A and B are shown apart, each in its own frame.
Chain A
């Protein structure tokens, strides 16, 4: 098994790492780059806890090979806040109790941010469908949807 040299950009920073060809992007992020925001829930694309943005698209990093990140641009939950200032979505999740254990939260935040970049004023149905691949075992989805709606309104300046 020949290790692979990967050059990528994560949250705006140039990153280089070496990994075996069968290592997932999720494992590379967590194990090699020290970015433990993305979580492993299922490892099979079903739960969304490992969600990151790759070249502008929301993906399950457990179903991406680290080697595939070569030349790509990745955004993780670690890239959401600006210094100590939380992203409006992060603040809204805290303010509206949209999390308990928080295992699902990074993936949901990343997916929701990507949605709001595409559509600043999504309907409740649009939010529910967009986040259908993000499972949460403890909070209940209503609070999550509400937190996204409130953050969206704030970001629109409403």
Chain B
């Protein structure tokens, strides 16, 4: 095995393209090293992307935030601007693993691992986050909802890797929330999860919403019907019920030792409802403070 630390995105893309199938990107390594140790994968080359300056920082851009692919969960949680602007995304990232995992893990690595239960992905999708991808043919942007394709499968071409994720600027009176269900309070894989992002109009009705669910299907997905059910409402019981029903209808989980199909469908509805109310309350508060 070779260990490489490219200094530029172009250099990294060349290494990945020339060693297609044999090379693996290393960010925090909290999934990659576990997979290598278990013999699940045996890469011939490790491309450590953390040595490119752009990948290590959180930068303001067009009123939003660009989060580098090497930014650890802890680093994101320490960024006051990120916590204030996208509390749901930050809380999702901060649920990943333990303090030790947080010191290394990245939200981009979480997304690129392609787990249907990844904690940060529903929150990023709800946020309308966009991944910036570098490759042999240059740079492209892809909305996070287009990114997961199935268990362990993501929308990257040969030689491509993610350099950052952009969290857009948000209007006044908008906020988000993320919730997951796990059998214990820390360090477990979500049985179901949900991210909700809400923007309010001046009169307190929901002007825009995005809702994503995870661990209840082969990939994390945006549920447009659930969001449509609450847009134009104040999340009154009727709208809430329609949203929950739409989220449950969109779930296609499997039964395993962590939860049955019925349980997961039930719980994902509960999580969407609770996350929507948290996002709503935060959005109101954000509106009052600005």
Chain A residues close to B by CB (< 8 Å)? 1-2, 4, 20-22, 24, 43-46, 48, 51, 54, 57-60, 62-65, 67-68, 111, 129-134
B281: Cβ under 8 A from any A Cβ: no
Contacts between chains A and B (CB distance < 8 A), count: 84
Pick from B29, B72, B100, B186: contact of A65, CB under 8 Å:
B29
| A111 and B3 form a contact (CB under 8 A) | no
| B1 and A63 form a contact (CB under 8 A) | no
| A132 and B2 form a contact (CB under 8 A) | no
- B37: min CB distance to chain A, Å: 6
Q: A1-B1, A21-B1 are in contact. Are A59 and B103 (CB under 8 A)?
A: yes
State which size class the interface on B falls in.
20 to 34
| B186 and A57 form a contact (CB under 8 A) | no
Q: How long is the Cα–Cα vector from A144 to B111 in the complex, in angstroms?
A: 35
Q: How long is the Cα–Cα vector from A60 to B29 in the complex, in angstroms?
A: 10
B18: Cβ under 8 A from any A Cβ: no
Chain B residues close to A by CB (< 8 Å)? 1-3, 26, 29-30, 33-34, 36-38, 46, 48, 50, 72, 74, 97-101, 103-104, 185-187
Q: How long is the Cα–Cα vector from A46 to B38 in the complex, in angstroms?
A: 14
**Chain B residues within an 8 Å CB radius of A46:** 187
| B3 and A4 form a contact (CB under 8 A) | yes
Pick from A63, A129, A131, A132: contact of B34, CB under 8 Å:
A63
Pick from A54, A68, A129: contact of B103, CB under 8 Å:
A54
**What are 21 of the A-B contact pairs (CB < 8 Å)?**
A4-B3, A20-B1, A21-B1, A21-B2, A45-B33, A45-B34, A45-B98, A45-B101, A48-B98, A51-B100, A57-B72, A59-B100, A60-B101, A63-B34, A65-B3, A68-B26, A68-B48, A132-B98, A132-B99, A132-B186, A133-B97
